[in-house]
């Protein structure tokens, strides 16, 4: 499937951000966070090897994995669930954040995800996307760091739930 033009969805409302896990509104996002948290070892976030998306089959449509590209200051989507692709009408797998999202939205995602990497902490987000040919869609999301053997954050695990009470 060819990626749709990145201009199709556009940010049209606030992009709310929280570092407080108590702000996770959706039960599916809480479930993913609990899974991630239980895999902490010796005071550090889990690695990719500690995470098996197949452990959470009901969450797979909402999940994503993204590689941290420190030299580029960007992230490359490695896995993107069907729920996200269907709402956004873009095949994100293999794309950079800067390629898959409209410029203003990509800049905000990049800024927040870089903070997530630097803080090594889960990031809750919510917002409102306007679509050229559809109504506005509320969304909620979570991004959580995964570390490499050298304890450097090298991936983000997350999920996005569209059609929820976002920002």
CA distance 105 to 110: 9
Delimit the domains of the chain by residue range.
9-40+56-162
pLDDT at 151: 93
Mean per-residue pLDDT over the chain, rounded: 84
> Dihedrals φ, ψ of 114, to 5°?
-65, -40
Residue, of 128 and 50, whose pLDDT is higher: 50
CA distance 163 to 136: 9
CA distance 86 to 62: 10
pLDDT tens for each residue of 87-137: 878 888 999 999 988 888 888 899 999 999 999 999 998 887 765 555 667
pLDDT at 53: 87
Contact residues for 113 (Cβ-Cβ < 8 A; gap 6+): 66, 75, 97, 123, 143, 156
Mean pLDDT of 23-43: 92
Mean pLDDT of 17-43: 90
pLDDT at 124: 92
Cβ pair 7, 115 in contact under 8 A: no
Placement of tokens 């009408």 in the chain: 89
Architecture of the domain whose range is 9-40+56-162? 2-Layer Sandwich (3.30)
Q: What percent of the chain lies above the pLDDT cut of 70?
A: 84
| Secondary structure E strands in the chain | 9-18, 63-69, 74-80, 123-131, 134-147, 153-162
pTM for this prediction? 0.85
Angle at 29 between CA 64 and CA 1, to 5 degrees: 30
């Amino acid at each position: 499937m060819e990626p749709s033009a990145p201009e199709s969805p556009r940010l049209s409302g606030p992009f709310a951000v929280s570092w407080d896990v108590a702000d996770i509104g959706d039960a599916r996002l809480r479930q993913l966070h609990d899974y991630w948290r239980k895999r902490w070892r010796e005071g550090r976030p889990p690695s990719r090897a500690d995470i098996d998306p197949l452990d959470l089959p009901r969450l797979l449509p909402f999940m994503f994995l993204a590689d941290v590209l420190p030299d580029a200051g960007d992230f490359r989507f490695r896995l993107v669930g069907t729920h996200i692709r269907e709402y956004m009408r873009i095949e994100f797998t293999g794309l950079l954040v800067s390629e898959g999202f409209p410029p203003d939205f990509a800049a905000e995602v990049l800024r927040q995800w870089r903070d997530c990497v630097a803080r090594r902490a889960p990031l809750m987000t919510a917002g409102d996307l306007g679509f050229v040919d559809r109504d506005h869609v509320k969304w909620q999301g979570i991004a959580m760091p995964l570390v490499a053997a050298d304890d450097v954050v090298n991936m983000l695990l997350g999920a996005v739930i569209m059609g929820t009470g976002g920002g």
